[in-house]
Structures are given as C-alpha cells and as structure tokens.
Amino acid sequence: MLTGEVIDAKEAERWGLVNKVVPPDHLELVVNEMAKKIISASPLGVWLTKATYNGLVGGRETAVVTTQPLMVFSSEDFKEGVDAAFHKRQPRFKGK
C-alpha cells in the first residue's frame, strides 16, 4: 500500500497480508471453517486481538491496550481455557 505496487493474491498470501487464497468455488467453505475457529475461541481473546489491532493502527483503544492482557489473563475464560487444555477437553467459554 505504501509503495503503490500492485500484487496478486498469491503474492499477498506469501507476504502474510492475507490468511489464505482459495478458488472462488471454495470460498464459502473456507470462510465457514475460519468462522467456526473464531467463534470457538475465547470471546475475550478475540476482543483483545481486535482491540490490539485497532490500537496498533491508531484506534481509540491505544491508551488502554497495554492493560488489556492483564484483564484477559485473570478472566474466567482464561482459567477455563487452561483447565480445558490440562484435562484435554473442549473449553466452554462464557465471555467473562
């Protein structure tokens, strides 16, 4: 974007600018698989990731972003994730 250079999808994937390049007829399947992964994650973890990204690009959360990891690591979801991993079961996140 900064150079104005045009690149194709495969190059964007190679550079890490996109997650995955798929044929159009596979797009819906791949999007649904990725969405399932995201919704199975801790809601607080997803929120923190989004807030961190917004802070890195100058969003209003910039000043708060450094304190958010402390909140997540002391959350019920974090404890549930650790317990689930320890007991080799799927976590049951509550967004708390």
- Write the pLDDT tens digit of every residue in 30-84: 999 999 999 988 888 888 777 777 666 555 555 455 555 656 667 888 888 888 8
- pLDDT at position 36: 94
The whole model's pTM is what? 0.53
Between 55 and 10, residue with greater pLDDT:
10
12 pLDDT higher than 60: yes
- pLDDT at position 81: 84
**Distances in Å between the alpha carbon of 64 and those of 43, 52, 56, 71, 89?**
18, 9, 11, 11, 33
Biggest CA pair distance of the chain = 50
